[in-house]
Amino acid sequence: MSVILAETGWPVCTARLPGKPAFLALDQYSNILYAAGSGAARVTALDPTTCAVQHVFEVESSPLTHITPPKAPAKQASAQKVIMSNILVIVACVLAILFLVLVLILLLQRRTIQKDGRRG
């Protein structure tokens, strides 16, 4: 497992962990990175600046074997594009409905004016 600096893309540190670490959680208050993965019945606590192992939590069985890792960034970007294209369709539909309501209001007002004109 490697910690990579987002600004540069360069690795900060690397640690060898058992299994295939695919699940990460960063505690920003204590600055501890927790890593776990399928195939290992443990969660490892690391210092994210040095990758030094601070603690290993053993669990009775690997609860992560039934959890799939998060999508790759490319798949997430693709899913975001689909969502954005759906948002545009929703906005277009809402605008079309508002336009139809406005036309209906104008037609009803015109009909009312025509009725009043016949009476007068």
Break the chain into its structural domains and give their ranges. 2-66, 71-120
**H or E element in which residue 22 lies:** strand 20-27
Q: Does 2-66 carry CATH code 2.60.120?
A: no
Q: Which of 11, 66, 12, 22 is nearest to 44 (CA)?
A: 22
pLDDT tens digits for 72-97? 566 666 766 776 677 878 888 899 99
- What pTM did the predictor assign? 0.50
pLDDT tens digits for 12-60? 999 888 777 878 888 888 999 998 877 667 888 999 999 999 988 887 7
